[in-house]
Structure formats: structure tokens, C-alpha cells
Amino acid sequence: RRGAHALAALALLFVAALILDRLFPLPLPDRDSSSVIVIASDGTPLRAFASENGVWRYPVAVGEVSPRYLEALVGYEDRWFWRHPGVNPIALLRAARQWAVAGRVVSGGSTLTMQVARILEPGRRNSLGKARQILRALQLEWHFSKREILALYLNHAPFGGTIEGVEAASWAYLGKPARNLSHAEAALLAVLPQAPSRLRPDRHNAAAQVARDKVLRRMAA
């Protein structure tokens, strides 16, 4: 009898999830919202135009980005990205414990999927906002593969000002495509979205170097 009750409860949860998924669809970005880029025959950008809302975003696929950047990003931000269901309970519990001890937010416990959820649907950084992030992250994992979620991050993460996505950031700050990043450059771009206004290398070079070196030490370890 307990088994039957458990199965019934799971069925009700599944149906409720389906209904909520239909009532609150994911706020996915417009595919036509990227910048327009004129390129030479060898792929070098000749002229770029901002999108209609003034954002500089150059579309890029996961396979077109340097493996060094992907290693730095996943290794530093979310080591369990390829395994968790969108949420890492251990990281969330650790963040809650650190908050309770320090009396302030030490780490957010957010996965890359949760960060994508926040990018797609910005909200207040409070308990309600975190709960919404978690639900949206689970919804993202339900609808998309890990590589598709990673592609959303690569193309829409904030890199300071009106620059979005790693490809636009790589050209803006380093003058090269994201496929040609060195280890140090990859580390810099991996950490920049954590605080894009405070870590912009063109304005706060010293702070950017400190953050970059932190990522490099993590990668070396």
C-alpha cells in the first residue's frame, strides 16, 4: 500500500510539473537578437553592428570555443555541471552554512544552469529569487541538453557594459576569437561574468589580474 501511495504521489508531482511547465514557459532569448558581423574570407571580423537593443553579442557554438576556456569555466564555476540535474544540493547546503556562520553571502551555490536561469530571467537576489532560479534550472535541464545549456551561457553571459557572450568579450578585450584563447586569457574570461563591472580588464586591470590568477591556481590544483 505504501508503494502505491508513493507512486500516486510521484504521478501527481509529474502532472503538476507538466502543468507548471506549460503555464510558465522558459523566457528564452530571441534568436535574432545578436549583433550583425561582416567577416573576411578567413573569418576575421571586418565590421560589427550592435543589436537593436545596443548589445554586442557574436553568436558562437560550444565547439567553436577554446577547450581551455571550457575547462576554466566548468572547473571554476561548476565542476559537477555535466552530472547534476541543474542544481547541486551539496553546494547549496555549503552556501547556506557559510551564510549562517559569516552572516553574509560567501558563495551563492549556483550551478551554471542556475546562472543561465538568472541571465534569462533576472530577479532579486533573495531567497525567493534563489527558489525561482532553482525551478528554472530544473526546467532548463528538462528541455535542453547540457551542451545546449552551455551554449546559452556562452552566448548570453554578461561581460561588462553592453558586451554579452564570450566571443564578443574575446574580441572586445583581447582582439581575438574565443577559439584562440591562452590559459591566462581563458581564466580571465571565465571569471569576468562574476562581477563584470568590477573586473573589466579595460577599466580595473589589477582586480581582473587578481581574479584571473585565482582561476589559474584552481586549474593548476
Encode pLDDT of 31-81 as tens digits.
666 667 777 777 677 777 777 777 888 889 999 999 999 999 999 999 999
Rounded CA-CA distance 83/171 in Å is 31
pLDDT at position 185 is 96
Cβ atoms of 33 and 155 within 8 Å: the answer is no
Complete DSSP assignment for 93-118: HHHHHHHHHHSS-S-----HHHHHHH
Rounded CA-CA distance 163/142 in Å is 29
Q: Which single residue is written with the C-alpha cell 510521484?
A: 10
Q: Which stretches in the chain have pLDDT values below 50?
A: 106
pLDDT at position 27 is 82
Q: How many CB atoms lie within 10 A of CB 14?
A: 10
pLDDT at position 111 is 92
As a whole number of Å, the CA-based R_g of the chain is: 19
Complete DSSP assignment for 176-210: S-GGG--HHHHHHHHHGGGSTTTS-TTT-HHHHHH
Rounded CA-CA distance 56/164 in Å is 6
